[in-house]
Structure 1
Amino acid sequence: MFARNIVSSKSVNASAFCGWVCLVIMKPFIYIDIMMSIMTLSDYTAAKAGPTMKKLIHPIAGTIAMLTIASFWLSTVISEVSGSREAIIAVKTAIPWGFLLLIPALAATGGTGFSLSKGRRPKLITTKIRRMAMTGANGLLVLVPSALFLSQKAASGEFNTAFYVVQGIELIAGAANITLLGLNMRDGFKMSGRFRRPAVKHSS
């Protein structure tokens, strides 16, 4: 009887462990699947909007994307400087949920940007498109995998060398995206004529 209980207990523990392993492996793919679905929907919706709405969506979505990445970056730095283990865990496990805001914002920014640039390819627009492509690639290939990895490590309390190496890469990639989005915003203001200095009239 006692032996049966031991075997049964081991079986339950083994099943629970296998379930946990499957969840850890599948969790990043679940996040990516959700984000890709949202990104596709946001991109499609932005592309179908009218010209006036696109001009409104584009700067708002770009600002939201830049501020979201900046908040990730600053919260990471502040939590590390504070030295609080609880703060680091809270920040690292919360960032992946922020992608539910960031990914649609990036998709809407890119979708409206490409749509508004149809038939127009001056140097400034071409440069903005290249920066947007770099921002998207950087986000999907570096920031998202890094954030998911760090979230899993933080939740498990594993603050080892791998954690800090990946976090360093994440901070560099985040700073690059903030810079690229900031430059695009500056060029957007140039193209729209905002903050343009009025011409000085010379009296004859």
Structure 2
Amino acid sequence: MFNHTTLIIIVTVIVSLLAWQNKALFNRLIFYPPAVSDGQWYRFVSHGFIHADSMHLLFNMFTLYFFGRAIEGLYQPFLGGYGFIAFYLLAIIVAMIPSYLQNKKNASYLSLGASGGVSAVLFAFILLAPWETIYLFAIVPIPAILFAVAYVAYSIYADKRGGSNINHMAHMWGGAFGVIATIILEPQVLPHFINALLSPSF
């Protein structure tokens, strides 16, 4: 069934492919703090529709496909339909704000990818089904809640360690946005999550 998750994936794939073929377009869309400070605020959104390479794109869209469809179907009406698109785009923006504040004048800082939005979708799903099995790298089975804990811990560790081209803080802030925004939009999800967490079913 065609849904808004599918629409986001199609647009992201098309824009990423076009950017790979056109370096000027790629440079106009990537998140570059000095350009943002000069008024190119659209980069807060546009960076989420380009990716470094095919594996980066595939991993993000693979994750979005499975969890985005679940969220659209289960969190009606707030995170269904156009509400889901708004949730996803806002997550991409919010996830990048801390990085922007830290690198306003850093002419060597660049960031790209949909990970902030994808993390928000993934963590919104975890609120609904904390013990649902997630397949890490599409192979290793792990309960969703344990994945969330490991994901946050690793993001903090990797960010402090540095030496990577991956914006780990954007992942974590995207996940945090997903949790907070979902609870605000669907308050009943919090008691549901607590009850599900205390009553694991394997």
Q: TM-score, normalised by structure 2?
A: 0.30
More helix by share: 1
Q: Which has the larger radius of gyration?
A: 1
Q: TM-score, normalised by structure 1?
A: 0.30
